[in-house]
Amino acid sequence: MAHAIIGGVVTSTLLTLIVVPVVYTYLDDLKQFTFRLFQRKHSK
């Protein structure tokens, strides 16, 4: 049972500190890219 608890704590820590910020950064970059892309199309 200790293995399951330690594994869960490690997994949740990695998800919280690494995976979530990386996904947020990629989505933010994608949002900025699409805004720039649509602004170029509409400004021409």
The DSSP annotation for the chain comes to: -HHHHHHHHHHHHHIIIIIHHHHHHHHHHHHHHHHHHHHHHHH-
Amino acid 14 reads: L
| Whether the predicted pLDDT of 13 surpasses 70 | yes
Confidence (pTM):
0.70
Look over the chain and give the mean of its residue pLDDT values, rounded to a whole number.
93
Q: In the chain, what is the straight-line distance between the N-terminal and C-terminal CA atoms, in Å? A: 63
| Whether the predicted pLDDT of 43 surpasses 90 | no
The residue ranking higher by pLDDT, 44 or 5, is 5
| Whether the predicted pLDDT of 11 surpasses 90 | yes
The token pair at 21 is 């910020």
Tally of CA atoms within 13 A in the half-sphere of 39 that contains its CB: 6
- Which pLDDT does position 44 carry in this prediction? 59
